[in-house]
Structure 1
Amino acid sequence: MKNFILSLDDLGNQEQGNIETLFAQANGFLGVRASLPIPVRASNPGSFVNGYYETHPIIYGETAYGYAKNHETIVKLFDFKSMEIKIGEEKLTKLMQQSIECDLMNGVLHECYEYTTVSGLQARLEIESFASHANRSVYAQKIKISPLNFSGPIEIKKKAKLIQPTGNAEFDPRVREASTKLLVNANQIVTPNSSLSLFTAFDSIDTKVQLDKNENFEFTQIYQMARQNHFETVEYEQLKAEQEVIFAEFWDKSDIQIEGDEELQKGIRVNLYHLFNSAGRDGKTNFAAKGLTGEGYEGHYFWDTEMYLLPFFIYTQPEIAKELLSYRLSILPQALERAKELDFDGALFAWRTQSGNETSAYYPAGTAQLHINGDIAYAFQLYDQVTGDEEFIAKSREVIYNTARFWLSYGFMSKRGFEIHEVTGPDEYTALVNNNYYTNKMAQNNLAYASELAERFSEHLYERENWKNASEAMFFGYDEARKLTKQDDSFLDKEPWPFNETPKENYPLLLHYHPMKIYKHQVLKQADTILAHMIYPEPEEQIKRDFDFYEPLTTHDSSLSRAIHGVVASRLGRPNEAYRFFADSATMDLSDMQGNAAHGIHAANMGGSWLGLVYGFAGLQIEGNELKFKNHLPEQITRLSFKVHFQGKSYHVDFKKQ
């Protein structure tokens, strides 16, 4: 069972902020960081509610028509963890020892701290806590306080503390101040600008007890937050028992067993645990880039959900996948309005958002990433293929039709074929280019799927032919001399980035170089053409040439990159290279590889680690109407076992090293 226990030993010597992220508890609605109960060192406590954000006008020095108008920033709400403990007249002020273990199997966090006063009086503090999956309004704690070297009075004060804005001077465009001054009225809190409301029901304690050395004082606290002012009476032990049942079912469907590498076994389970915890489940919220574990990326939803997270949910937890896709359906009106605002037909989904409105202030690496339309269509299509849920697809097909209408309006037919200009692909170090290969592949599929659905439902006859014709005529650049797929019309003509002259501390490049410096070079932030090859395989020799050209130019500055390269390396018969990429992906946050785990988990990478195992080492692909697998296990992994669900049936896949 030790590979279902995450402990401090698994993190090495990491900073407090990273600990608070990795041990955070969440249930898709609310999340709570694992901050210190008595904060004797720098700590970043906080709780979050999925889709609860504040808006602020985006201030441009120079603006233009159609620019995004407002920030939407997830609100860091309450500190549910901290308390004040006095022994006589002395506060516990020094941390002597700590032990933190998260029981991944049951979704429960166990913490043990030993504190001392200035004069040396010592007490042990044990905390058990979880964000309830049975009742998602609830965060529950059970706390036990024990004297270690004294008998006497202990005073305990513990209540939820609303976090106030502090200002954030750190330069990092991926992070923004998340706390805000909320309007408080009895048990209701309201954001001043976005006018979003939450209701609360909190337990608090303010008591003094007399304890001997062999005694302890134990109490439970229930914190509840909801969008309606209605709360059920709940019992701690009952919620805990229900939590265990829910997680047992989750692991039965979703666990991946690895033999040969215990560190990676632990890593993949931590990743799957956080994926289950942070996914929205109400059809109106989605999956933030940092889950519900931190304020990174302002709590925004990106294409990460569709391309990196949904495959895991579609194959193992289709009911959650359906809710995540339902969110996209719910914001279709905003996408229709956005396309209209930019003078195009159909729908254009926001690059980063919570409400459905575009919030990306830097359009070359935001709105211009039109591939999000194709990403969303691809996710609906994959759900369609894997689940056969005809009723949901019938309900959602306007998403596919309207994204197809956008491509017809935005692209154009030339002598070369159907072209799409002035876009930015997944490689955000190359912006505003013509015929990005990945974008064109996703658009081609989007158009073809729209045509297929129109035929299936016997509608839109005229449009159906236009969608089909544009899909079949899609232009893809190719360099005949070098036999390379062109990432876009201009990439191969650029000067390579001077990697040998770039110091290690200057990565990620986006924090050290102006976009104009980056954009003029051959350099990639993450998988682009290689991602397209993972989804839509080309002949193996072509993929080899492209992989050997593009991967050395890739910084992997984005956490989304390594897993995709690992999948493709597996398929190319390069097990050692694939293993290296997968190992990085499986343990990225445990090792703080990106240097910013304190801002929240790298959720897309966590989904990518599932892709690395299932799409990569196990070679899963859909051919026709069947699942196909191929054993690509590297020598470091002697056995791989997991389940997937396909068209109403459960498949248990078990590979051993050949």
Structure 2
Amino acid sequence: MWRFLARNKHVAAMMAVLGVAAMVVIVLTTKGTSHGVSKTHLDETEDISDDPHIFSTYDLPADDRFMPSIGNGHIATNVFSSTVHINGLYNGLRGESRRARIPAYANIRLNSTLTHHPFRPVYSLDTSDAVFKVRVDRERSVVTQRIYAHRYYTRTIVNQIQVVSKPHADPNFIHHEIWIAVKLLPGPDSEDIDFETPIPEIVDGRTVWTACGSTREVEDPTFQPLPTEVCVCWTSVPDHLVVPQHGSRVFTFPMTADKNKSVARSELLQVLQEDGEELFQKHVKSWHQLYQQAALEIEGNLHLSKIVNAIWYYFLSSLPSEESYQPLGPFYGLSPTGLARGVLLDDYHGHNFWDTEIWMFPTILMLYPKYARLLLQYRLDTAYEAAHHARDTGNSGYRFPWESAYTGVEVTSSCCPEVAEFEQHITGCISFAARQFLAVTRDEDWLKRGGCSIVTNIADFWASRAVINYNTGLYDIENVMGPDEDHSNVTNSVFTNVVAGYSLYLAQYVACLCKSYYAAKDPEHWADIAWSLALPYDEEADYHPQFSGYRRGEGIKQADAVLLGFPLQYNMKQSTRSNDLSYYESVTRSNGPAMTWSMHAIGHLDLGEDDLATQLFNRSYQGYVREPFKVWSEVRRPDVGAVNFFTGMGGFLQTLVFGYAGVRVRLDRLEITRPRLPPSTTKFTIRGMKYLGANLTFEVNQNSATLKVHSLDSTWMLNLFNGKYNVTLVPDMTVTLSGEGPFTIHSAPWKECKYPGDVIGHNYLRPKDT
């Protein structure tokens, strides 16, 4: 990922172009309460709600970047923003590619929220119903505005303003009509899209506008010969809404956007025919169905519960709907700040990085494996470009770019050429995500529809990158950069070599799985290279140097070598794991990105160092989560970095699921070890955990843990080993897990294929894990 400081010079210019004031915010640091609820800072406001799913405030954040987003995977915006984005709409050539800005014809404001007004509004984000609400209790009426990206009518952002008149105490009082002043604030014309002059038409007495245009630049002429077309439709918004003196009314103002004019227009017309309340309930029903499938539930710590609920709301807002009024097109990935952001360079322009596969993917896989497959599908859809990228750089197979967007070509900004050139570990991270996906799902259809090819072609890339060193007899991978971007163009990055080795071993395994319909080349050669890859290890200090030639004491940007312990789960001595953690904690930037400390927390939990884990768990989110809407910043206060930072959210969720709950995904089993409660909580539940088609609920209490089986896939018989006995799982069974484990859930080997050895660097002394 780009260096934060390298990007700052670009941000002010971009914000000025968009009409956004660049701000320097000074904040105060205050201690939290006993349950970790942080006091508000100067750039934030207080969340006054006691509901874990609702965040309410009287005052909006001073920094607009901390406003929440609404979205449905196709269309998204930040509340009260002048920008709307749709999935897969980018403008700009290669390094200039960014999410194309559509003016926000959905940005409707009540005048009472724009000026000093005697009636104080209450602003609320309801993550359960996925709606932002503004409520103004006036002298003669109660006005409620609902803003949401419809989960069923997926091309639509809806504004609904409900006006309910109040009865007067004096029956003889003469009422007059109630007038509510509103404004439509779409912002300036788009610099990314050449829109034609909007065309009005009258539909059932309402004025409907349609504007179509094309992006101004293609991302790459080879893979995108023509600009992308887009059409936007919206309804006129009057200056005032008028309601009878004794009445009530709901006013609905939709905006639609799509790359197909007929799709955008027909959806708007359909939405206008819906009853206002039924339209809203149809949206709520879709969200509730999604939440019924899975959740992470925390009791005893309201603040922590709110953060978790916010993360899932933001994640799912950027992922496509399961059911929609009109068919959905291809999905273009999950970027570090979600679908609602990406115009600004500071928000990574809406590009895709390793953040998706390493940081967001793991918990999405455990709860919503269908979305995990969709994230991998984006990589399959861009594999052709990855093949070109490999050939252009003198390699074989697939080399995925550090940043990708619409076409799949390299789109890293000119600010940071070294990351595009050297940070090649993303290709191994994609293979690692495929490995986890196959372990959890055994999805044969995915293998047949490109999975076999992507795994083996990634292995071919690493085989072509590994060069024999005749002095050591090992393979080196030169000219790379690990996750620590403070060191570039190194040899044998320990993280890179392990994900490369895993990629090679996975291809050997997949070659067996696919052998009846996919012919792989010499699978044993892949395993031979993996076995002989160099793996930096300092025997005297008993730790992993980040790369060959790393000098102890050099500062680093973020978690790198510690990722071997988790998520890679590379086998090593406990003393090595402990030394990796303690050493790198002493040299990692204090203002590094949010996700780093989550991995350190998991490491200490694995070692039974709960007090240290608590400190680092708190460090992983305190200072990053911004009130009142639980929006994450990339960098701790007083800095900001990217907003809303999905990568940090993903690391935080992994601490809960894979750290405190002790869940581990391995190719041959699902493992649970030493489950315990997160700090200051009374119960932690993973509801709807998926494994080989089974639907499970795992509950951790103060002194016990239970696993309930809701349903099973008849294809895979599952057994639970509780430390003494194998128990065959059946629907509606609840099993109590006593002790620390490990408890394993396993099935028969898949197609009787031998699991990979995963031994990297045969010269490395590797005692059994203790």
* TM bucket normalised to smaller: 0.7 to 0.9
2:121 corresponding residue in structure 1: 98
The answer to whether the 8 A contact 2:439-2:667 is kept is no
**In the TM superposition, what are the counterparts of 1:150-549 in structure 2 within 5 Å?**
154=179, 156=181, 158-159=183-184, 161=186, 163-164=188-189, 179-184=191-196, 186=198, 187-194=211-218, 195-206=227-238, 208=240, 218-229=250-261, 230=263, 231-232=266-267, 233-234=270-271, 235=274, 236-280=276-320, 282-295=329-342, 296-355=347-406, 356-360=408-412, 361=414, 362-396=416-450, 397-414=452-469, 415-458=472-515, 460=519, 462-493=521-552, 496=553, 522-534=554-566, 535-537=568-570, 538-549=572-583
- Counterpart CA distance in 2 for 1:280 and 1:544 is 41
The answer to whether the 8 A contact 1:618-1:655 is kept is yes
Output the amino acid matched with 1:482.
Answer: A
- Counterpart CA distance in 1 for 2:520 and 2:666 is 28
2:132 corresponding residue in structure 1: 109
**In the TM superposition, what are the counterparts of 1:136-151 in structure 2 within 5 Å?**
136-144=154-162
- Counterpart CA distance in 2 for 1:145 and 1:597 is 38
Structure 2 residue 650 is the aligned partner of structure 1 residue 607: yes
Post-superposition offset of 1:595: 5.0
The answer to whether the 8 A contact 1:336-1:348 is kept is yes
Output the amino acid matched with 1:641.
Answer: T
Post-superposition offset of 1:208: 5.0
Output the amino acid matched with 2:116.
Answer: K
**Which segment drifts farther, 367-376 or 553-562?**
553-562
Output the amino acid matched with 2:332.
Answer: T
- Counterpart CA distance in 1 for 2:401 and 2:320 is 18
Post-superposition offset of 1:260: 3.0
Match of 1:590 among 619, 626, 647: 626
User: Secondary structure in 2 aligned to 1:301?
Assistant: coil
- Counterpart CA distance in 2 for 1:651 and 1:86 is 49
User: Secondary structure in 2 aligned to 1:367?
Assistant: helix
Output the amino acid matched with 2:152.
Answer: A
Residue identity (%):
20
Output the amino acid matched with 2:147.
Answer: S
Post-superposition offset of 1:216: 5.8
Structure 2 residue 683 is the aligned partner of structure 1 residue 639: yes
Structure 2 residue 72 is the aligned partner of structure 1 residue 27: yes
**In the TM superposition, what are the counterparts of 1:27-46 in structure 2 within 5 Å?**
27-35=72-80, 44-46=81-83
1:352-403 Cα distance to aligned partner (Å, 9 max, x none): 1202110113232233111100100111111111011111122222111111
1:129-180 Cα distance to aligned partner (Å, 9 max, x none): 2111212111111113579999568475655736336xxxxxxxxxxxxx53
Output the amino acid matched with 2:51.
Answer: K
1:126 corresponding residue in structure 2: 144
Post-superposition offset of 1:123: 8.6
Output the amino acid matched with 2:398.
Answer: A
Post-superposition offset of 1:253: 2.8
The answer to whether the 8 A contact 1:95-1:114 is kept is no
User: Secondary structure in 2 aligned to 1:314?
Assistant: helix
Structure 2 residue 84 is the aligned partner of structure 1 residue 5: no
Cα 1:130/1:461, change in 2 over 3 Å = closer
Match of 1:49 among 86, 99, 104: 86
- Counterpart CA distance in 2 for 1:122 and 1:93 is 19
1:550-585 Cα distance to aligned partner (Å, 9 max, x none): 112112511221222222121121223323333344
- Counterpart CA distance in 2 for 1:536 and 1:210 is 63
Post-superposition offset of 1:214: 6.5
**Which segment drifts farther, 420-429 or 150-159?**
150-159
Structure 2: gaps spanning 5 or more residues: 1-49, 169-174, 199-210, 219-226, 322-328, 628-632, 704-770
The answer to whether the 8 A contact 2:436-2:667 is kept is no
- Counterpart CA distance in 1 for 2:437 and 2:638 is 34
Post-superposition offset of 1:622: 2.9
Post-superposition offset of 1:28: 0.9
- Counterpart CA distance in 1 for 2:53 and 2:73 is 21
The answer to whether the 8 A contact 1:573-1:632 is kept is no
- Counterpart CA distance in 2 for 1:135 and 1:622 is 36
The answer to whether the 8 A contact 1:332-1:399 is kept is yes
- Counterpart CA distance in 1 for 2:521 and 2:240 is 77
Post-superposition offset of 1:33: 1.0
Structure (1 or 2) with the greater helix fraction: 1
- Counterpart CA distance in 1 for 2:485 and 2:288 is 40
TM-score for the superposition, normalised by structure 2 = 0.71
1:79 corresponding residue in structure 2: 104
The answer to whether the 8 A contact 1:267-1:590 is kept is no
User: Secondary structure in 2 aligned to 1:479?
Assistant: coil
**Which segment drifts farther, 445-454 or 577-586?**
577-586
RMSD: 2.9
Structure 1: gaps spanning 5 or more residues: 36-43, 57-68, 116-120, 166-178, 497-521
Cα 1:483/1:425, change in 2 over 3 Å = same
The answer to whether the 8 A contact 2:621-2:652 is kept is yes
The answer to whether the 8 A contact 2:89-2:99 is kept is yes
The answer to whether the 8 A contact 2:193-2:213 is kept is no
Cα 1:86/1:585, change in 2 over 3 Å = closer
- Counterpart CA distance in 1 for 2:586 and 2:521 is 45
Output the amino acid matched with 1:261.
Answer: N
- Counterpart CA distance in 2 for 1:595 and 1:280 is 34
Post-superposition offset of 1:212: 7.5
Post-superposition offset of 1:114: 7.4
1:226-249 Cα distance to aligned partner (Å, 9 max, x none): 122222312243342232222223
User: Secondary structure in 1 aligned to 2:400?
Assistant: coil
User: Secondary structure in 2 aligned to 1:143?
Assistant: strand
1:176-197 Cα distance to aligned partner (Å, 9 max, x none): xxx5353326531211112111
User: Secondary structure in 2 aligned to 1:198?
Assistant: strand
User: Secondary structure in 2 aligned to 1:467?
Assistant: helix
**Which segment drifts farther, 146-155 or 335-344?**
146-155
The answer to whether the 8 A contact 2:83-2:104 is kept is yes
2:586 corresponding residue in structure 1: 552
The answer to whether the 8 A contact 1:183-1:192 is kept is no
TM-score for the superposition, normalised by structure 1 = 0.82
- Counterpart CA distance in 2 for 1:583 and 1:654 is 22
